[in-house]
């Protein structure tokens, strides 16, 4: 049987390979070979996804490959691992948390937000992406509806920053401060601005956003 290290390498290969249908059969074959599902998740799936994230952070792969990898990993998660965990009633957690993410009102840019969304997905978060130009009330309603752990807000333009502030104010004003954290990011956003509006975290890049979300989850 291959070592876990070899399996991680194999999984990275199938995530980035030419055949999108190969991932599920590959994962099934590994489990049929005697690897326990929980070990597969912790020692193969998670480190492989971290490697994919690292490759994107180094721009060894680009956004289209990152999207493909996230989708393929999701297929393994939904089609292979989740049914086993449910049947075993093992209590094993695939998701590291639920994050609602959007570009705030007045801003129609989405590539930076998409990169963050994908990096969160490859790192095990359930991400609900609301898209662009999202008014504060809609973002808050969605976070409440899905019982999110974190609400991620992106803005590329200074003129959309006031909507971030409004979002934090409305969350706190409606008594939802303890229900979910708010992380902000985007080209003009700074740590000082984050503190000024009372958001809980700031990610200056897609990589840092993931690190900050892990930290926010630990605090919860």
Partner 1 sequence: MRHRSRLVNVLERAESGPIMKEADFERRLVTPAIKKAVETYGIEFDDSTLVPNDDDLADRIFQAGLEVAAETGMFCQDTSRRIAFTRRELEEGLRFCPGEVTMGAGTDAVVARAREPEVAERPILVGGAYGVPFPEDLFVPVMLSFAKESVVDVIENATLETVYGKPIKAASPWEVIGGWREAELSMEVIGRAGRPGMCIGCVETSPTALAEISASSWGGFRPTDWHHVSTVSELKTNYDLLAKVAHINRIGGVMESYYNPIYGGYVGGAEGVAVAVVAGSILMNQVTMAHTISTRPDHPFLGCNTTPELMWAMSVGVQALSRNTNLLVGTLVGPAGGPGTRTVLYELAAYALSMTVSGVAVLEASHTAGGAVPRHVSGLEAKMCGEVMRATSGMSRAEANELVMRLNSIYGPDLETKPIGKPFEEVYDVVNVEPTSEWRGLYDEVWDELVDMGVPLDALV
> Under the rule (CB under 8 A), what is the footprint of partner 1?
56-57, 59, 62-64, 67, 105-112, 115, 132, 157-163, 165, 187-188, 190, 205-207
Q: How far is the CB of 114 from partner 1 (least distance, A)?
A: 8
Between residues 1 and 59, which has the closer beta carbon with respect to partner 1? 59
Q: What is the SS3 assignment for 135? A: coil
Q: How far is the CB of 122 from partner 1 (least distance, A)?
A: 15
**Tokens read off for 118:** 């994908």
Q: Indicate which residue of 69, 77, 107, 149 is catalytic.
A: 107
Active site residue 160: yes
Q: How far is the CB of 136 from partner 1 (least distance, A)?
A: 11
Active site residue 18: no
How far apart CA 194 and CA 185 sit, in angstroms, is 9
Q: Indicate which residue of 10, 39, 68, 109 is catalytic.
A: 109
Between residues 44 and 128, which has the closer beta carbon with respect to partner 1? 128
Between residues 96 and 204, which has the closer beta carbon with respect to partner 1? 204
**Dihedral angle of Cα 169, 175, 179, 180, to the nearest 10 degrees:** 0
Q: Indicate which residue of 69, 77, 117, 160 is catalytic.
A: 160
Burial (CB < 10 A; 0-12, 13-18, 19+), residue 145, is exposed
Q: How far is the CB of 129 from partner 1 (least distance, A)?
A: 9
How far apart CA 109 and CA 106 sit, in angstroms, is 9
Q: How far is the CB of 151 from partner 1 (least distance, A)?
A: 19
Nearest to 78 by CA among 137, 150, 23: 23
- List C-alpha distances in Å: 176 to 46, 87, 94, 180, 190: 31, 35, 26, 7, 24
Between residues 111 and 215, which has the closer beta carbon with respect to partner 1? 111
Active site residue 29: no
Between residues 74 and 179, which has the closer beta carbon with respect to partner 1? 74
Nearest to 217 by CA among 201, 205, 206, 204: 201
CB atoms inside a 10 Å sphere around CB 82: 15
Q: Give me the active site residues, please.
A: 107, 109, 160
């Amino acid at each position: 049987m291959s070592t876990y290290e070899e399996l991680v390498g194999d999984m990275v290969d199938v995530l980035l390979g030419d055949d999108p249908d190969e991932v599920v059969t590959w994962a099934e074959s590994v489990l049929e070979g005697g690897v326990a599902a929980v070990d597969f998740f912790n020692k193969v799936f998670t480190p492989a996804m971290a490697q994919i994230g690292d490759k994107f952070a180094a721009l060894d792969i680009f956004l289209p490959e990152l999207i493909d990898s996230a989708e393929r990993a999701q297929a393994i998660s939904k089609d292979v691992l989740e049914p086993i965990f449910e049947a075993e009633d093992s209590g094993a957690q695939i998701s590291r948390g639920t994050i609602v993410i959007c570009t705030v009102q007045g801003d129609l840019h989405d590539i930076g937000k998409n990169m963050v969304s994908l990096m969160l997905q490859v790192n095990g978060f359930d991400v609900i992406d609301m898209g662009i130009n999202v008014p504060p009330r809609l973002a808050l309603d969605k976070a409440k509806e899905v019982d999110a752990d974190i609400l991620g807000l992106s803005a590329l333009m200074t003129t959309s920053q006031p909507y971030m502030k409004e979002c934090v104010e409305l969350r706190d004003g409606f008594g939802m401060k303890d229900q979910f954290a708010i992380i902000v990011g985007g080209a003009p956003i700074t740590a000082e601005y984050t503190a000024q509006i009372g958001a809980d975290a700031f990610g200056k890049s897609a990589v840092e956003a993931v690190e900050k979300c892990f930290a926010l989850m630990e605090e919860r």
